[in-house]
Amino acid sequence: MPPLATTLAVVTLLAILVVALPWGMELLRRPMNERARGDAPGAFAQLSAGNTHYQWHGPRSTRVLVLVHGVSSPSWVFAGLIRGLLAMRYRVLSYDLYGRGFSDRPRDSQTLEFHARQLGELLDALGVQVPVTLMGYSMGGAIAATFAADEPDRVDRLILLAPAGVSYTPGRLRTMARDGGRLGSWLWGLLGGWQLKRAARADAANPSVIDDLPRRIRREIRRRGYLAAILSSERHALDRSLKAVHREIGAMYIPTLAIWGEKDAVIPVASLGAFAAWNRQARQEVIDGAGHALPHTHPKQVLSAIRDFLREVPE
């Protein structure tokens, strides 16, 4: 073969390998199956889009509080809050959104309505008939608000921690992946895991009740479908304004607490101004020195704000 032809063949082969690399990396990740769930705590509910992993915390009670986590950290992100919530006489339900933790990885677009449907089906499957207090963190705040607006009779209070749907500032890589079509998908498949590990290391540099955060995120990244779920959420859930949703919640007088981190670079504290205009009935608190990881970096302050809110809005 002539030298030029050989060079072109090598370049072509390398190009094919580079293009295929993210998909090859994904195939090497572990599928979410019964073997992977061997050490999962709690139990599973078979819902319309797949298995959902959940845990009950505390004794049976008619006071139920449901935790809805954010885009990248599964239900364990609330570990530092559960004991304090139990002390408030709640029975606490935590669960993993599709694509995270021990839940299934359906290929559906990860819209807020998709996740709100998962929440409603889980409550039905568990026989929860009483109105619940919903606590949503980051994207989970947008999911909780969407559910509350759609099914207000099932929600008696709404607690939002740095909620998405008001203002959102993703990093450069996530923005490029979100807006880049197939090229963005390739870029996220190649570099998304690296970006998430880097962010986890940065969070771990601050005091936190989750002392092995980087290890937990690495475990998530090794599971097939996790990166795709995050990108789908970036494209179909986190780009939405919930102005109409929060106005509806305010008009229905659902007691609402929004808690913001003073130094949050992802969902900036300036969001509280727009939020106040959308829902004038809501109570808002700002935690000094807190960034976006406030559930596990500032759990005492979060719990204190919740206790004050519950005293203000008794049953």
Structure confidence by residue, pLDDT tens digits, 286-295:
999 999 999 9
Q: Is the pTM of this model over 0.85?
A: yes
**Distance between CA 75 and CA 43 in Å, rounded?**
13
Which residues is 133 bridged to in the sheet?
65, 157
CB atoms within 10 A of CB 299: 20
Q: Which tokens belong to 168? A: 């959102």
**pLDDT single digits (tens) 217-274:** 999 999 999 999 999 999 999 988 999 999 999 999 999 999 999 999 999 999 999 9
Calculate mean pLDDT across residues 67-71: 97
Residue 57's DSSP bridge partners are: 92
Query: Could you tell me the CATH superfamily of domain 43-169+205-312?
Result: Alpha/Beta hydrolase fold, catalytic domain (3.40.50.1820)
d(CA 38, CA 141): 30
Give the chain's largest Cα–Cα span.
83
